[in-house]
Chain A
Amino acid sequence: MKKNSFKHALSGFAALVIVTCILAAVLVIYVDPFFHYHAPLKGFPYLVDNQLSQNPGMASHMEYDSVILGSSMTVNFQTTWFQELMGLNTIKLSYSGAYPKDQANIMDIIFKSDNNKGDRRIKKVFLGVDVITYTGGVEETKYPIPEYLYDERYFNDIKYLLNKDVILNYILRPIADPDPTDLSNVYASWWTEEYYSEQWVLHNYASPQQADEETLPDAYIASTEKNLDINICPYIEANPETEFIIFFPPYSILFWNDVIVENHLDATIEEYRYIADRLNAYENVKVYFFPDQEEIICDLNNYADYSHYHPKFNRYMTECFAYGECLVKKEGEVSAGEGKTIDEYLAHMKEIAENFDYEELLSRRG
């Protein structure tokens, strides 16, 4: 009798555990807040705020014909602008601090999705390129990624299905306190207008250590080449029907102060040149160059820190994509009308970087 009661207790325990685990898993599969199994449910107030966890699902199960990729330089693009100006149904899949490998990971998923199957093709990929991330390792990701959401193994999905955070923060909390994310503006930065001020930027800015030895002009080429070879170019080559819009975002003049103080101006310029030349050689690539936009970069009131510009410049860049401003001319193209060659852009950039009065600017730090 007594022995039996322990056996019953154990069966009761097993039944309770199995039933609760199944219920939890079914709930996660049904709502699927990371879109790992299916497209979003109609009417569910999804919270989308986690790039690492939610981008892969959005890439594979949402409907779109073009994508925005890049670092936090891209989070303030509104996808409605792309609809308005270019008629594109765009999705934003930014990764803050993204390394080239992060882009490769998500492009893998994008081009395998239904949006690129049958007679459907991804029309455009807008890819923001931050040169400094192309000097790292080809297998490096900015943050460790939750592999179970990126691979196709079902076995490790248990980490998603029996996950307190997923259930509490992405299923129950949105139900209790609905505030559905507007996907057009997803991942937008938190800075409000008052942060975009010279005073704030200078207050938080610290010049790096002065480097005495100049970095050789070709110092970054080898690693950049490897990153392009492995993480970027294969996708461009494998998808000739997709147009890749590559753009270099406009960092503030303080970025160039860093470059000068750290003594790698030529190396940085050469890296820009290498990436632009290399990618522009593809027929299905267009390269846009924004770093030398003097009116933008020299006024720190346009920035919230040394590199992050105001969202209005995301709008400006979208307009450029639509109308062809700031486009880098392809080699051998007849030099008619607008557009400059990369050499012309970079010469201008170098001139600004070398001649700017940094001391005067930094003296305003107070």
Chain B
Amino acid sequence: MLFNSYEFVFLFFPLTLAGYYIVNKIAVSFQSGIDCAAIKNGFLLAVSLLFYGWLHPEYLPVLVGSMAVNYALFWQMEKRDKKKKYLYIGLVFDLGCLAFFKYLGMGSFVPLGISFYTFTQIAFLMECYRGNLKGVTALSYGTYVSFFPKMIQGPIALPGEMLCQFTGEKKQIDWERVYRNLYLFTLGLFKKVLIADTFGKAVDFGYTNLPALNSGDALIVMLSYTLQLYFDFSGYCDMAMGLAGILGFELPLNFNAPYKAANIVEFWKGWHITLTRFFTKYLYIPLGGNRKGRGRTYVNYLIVFFVSGVWHGAGWQFIVWGMLHGILYVLTKMQMDIKKEKTIKGRQMCAQTSDEAESKIRRTGRKIVQAACVALTFLYVNIAWIFFRAPSLKEAFELIKKIVSFHFGKINWNLAGCFNLDEFWYVIKVLKLDGWQYGHYLLMVLILAAVLLLVFFGRSAVDFVRKVKPNAFYVTLLAVLFVWSILSFSGVSTFLYVNF
């Protein structure tokens, strides 16, 4: 089931919420008898499997089978001293399943969310191997892996931060928490349905009409994908956090203003944070981290980015994407290391120089440099995303070629048309802008500008809801965004009737 579907918003989630509330009540009344956490977890596990199997029941056995095998291995690890064997069996099994379904040409049978639940389970096995987990019941394990807000697209929550929430005491209804998280869900929904999907139209148009694009068009397609991906993925994570929050759970933060980063290292502190964390904990550190000398550290970074590329998708373009990030990451780290050495040496020499001496001009200069760094990082990330989106390397290079050919001209009429949302047609009409020769391009420019401003200067949704007031204005805004998103779930399909 998708979050942005009528059945989820009107049926599944309200019923889940009501059911969970009732189950909580029942669990409390049974408190002395059976384990009340088991009742609640049983309920969450059941609805999560329903959520997962709704659209594709055929994927359900794969998920359940994978959970069963992993839990059995955990069970063995708990009982025995030699844990390593079971860890390796688990890793081979999990990565083998992932490779089998995702990479080895299983055709269209790629179980939804397999990349995410595989990593979730690997994290579990690793923590268990490290001795950080004890006495996890099958029910709370199942709930942890399949918890519906996060199962399909993350965030990749670690067992340490989730399991305690599944065994904790009864959740009180807290209206403030519900309000703030409903707001977060709605903002995420809006980001996905209205912002990301609008850019998505432009991106799809661009990649299906590559030969027709000029440099300006190609730049817009590139930028649109950068924005689509961010709003889609971070919107999804906002929704996940919001839903979990309404139920009384806390999911880890996955995005923190990544495009405001002034270098690639900062970018990865704000982009898909839980994935970076996963790789750091379970790949980078086991590889030796930074403990085996500088050269080895850089190689470790490259390995992480290579694996990340492979994890993101089957195809060379993902590896290129991963390596583009990896190489710049290593170069940035090198530069940072050199700088750090210099400052340490500098401090030793003249420990007394103070910041007060820094003049206004220098501060302005520093700001300009900072802005330039942000812009350059953003540009680099944009170019890397081309490889992420393009159906293959060929198309990626074709788009880049279009950009660097510096063949500018009028922006493609149909590309601009992707931004002409029907809801603004009336505004254009009333303002009599439809007759103006640039009227057709107006919304494209406005939407791009507004969204870029939001990305570079706006607060994140998570920050916003932390402070949002429950007054008439914000309640109305919430309702407008919510209804606007819902009305956009299903369109009216039109097809270009070309042949016959």
Contact = CB atoms under 8 A, between A and B. Distances in A.
Given A16-B479, A164-B488, A169-B422, A159 B6 contact: yes
B475 A165 contact: no
A253 B36 CA distance: 78
Contacts of A164: 422-423, 484, 487-488, 491
Contact of A163 (B175, B423, B491, B495): B491
Interface string A97-138: 110000000000000000000000000000000101100000
B57 to A, nearest CB: 18
B494 interface: yes
B500 A10 contact: no
B420 to A, nearest CB: 12
Nearest to B10: A158
Interface stretch (A85-93, A172-180, A232-240, A292-300): A172-180
Contacts of B497: 72, 96-97
A168 interface: yes
A307 B174 CA distance: 66
A3 interface: yes
A165 B178 CA distance: 31
B500 A130 contact: yes
B425 interface: yes
Contacts of B182: 10, 13
B475 A12 contact: yes
Interface in A189-223: none
B475 A16 contact: yes
A50 B495 CA distance: 9
B500 A3 contact: no
Interface string A323-362: 0000000000000000000000000000000000000000
B51 to A, nearest CB: 18
Contacts of B406: none
Contacts of B429: 176-177
A5 B423 contact: no
A72 B478 CA distance: 45
B249 to A, nearest CB: 19
Interface string B80-109: 000000000000000000000000000000
B422 A168 contact: yes
A146 B493 contact: yes
Given A16-B476, A169-B422, A52 B493 contact: yes
Interface in B464-493: 470-472, 474-476, 478-479, 482-484, 486-493
Nearest to A70: B500
Contact of A144 (B179, B425, B472, B493): B493
Contacts of B463: none
A16 B270 CA distance: 35
B169 interface: no
B499 interface: yes
A333 to B, nearest CB: 32
Contacts of A10: 175, 178-179, 182
Interface stretch (A17-25, A60-68, A264-272): A17-25
Given A6-B179, A9-B179, A163 B487 contact: yes
A143 B422 contact: no
A73 B475 contact: no
Contacts of B179: 6, 9-10
A160 B494 CA distance: 15
B408 to A, nearest CB: 28
B422 A165 contact: yes
A254 interface: no
Contacts of A302: none
A163 B483 contact: no
Contacts of B341: none
A257 interface: no
A53 B470 contact: no
B35 to A, nearest CB: 30
Interface in B13-65: none
A169 B492 contact: yes
Contact of A162 (B423, B487, B499): B487
B413 interface: no
Contacts of B475: 9, 12-13, 16
Contacts of B500: 71-73, 96-98, 130, 132-133, 307
A153 interface: no
A10 B482 CA distance: 13
A172 B426 contact: yes
A345 B425 CA distance: 53
Nearest to B491: A165
B211 to A, nearest CB: 15
Nearest to B186: A13
A278 interface: no
A53 B493 contact: yes
**What 10 pairs between A and B have smallest CB-CB spacing?**
A9-B470, A96-B497, A16-B479, A6-B175, A164-B487, A165-B492, A159-B490, A168-B422, A7-B175, A6-B176
Given A16-B479, A16-B483, A164-B488, 18 more contacts: A3-B174, A3-B175, A7-B175, A10-B179, A12-B475, A13-B478, A17-B483, A52-B493, A52-B495, A158-B6, A159-B6, A162-B489, A163-B487, A163-B489, A164-B484, A164-B491, A173-B422, A177-B429
25 contacts: A4-B175, A6-B175, A6-B470, A9-B179, A9-B470, A9-B474, A10-B178, A10-B182, A12-B479, A16-B475, A16-B476, A16-B483, A17-B479, A21-B483, A97-B499, A97-B500, A143-B495, A144-B493, A158-B6, A159-B489, A163-B490, A166-B492, A168-B425, A169-B422, A176-B426
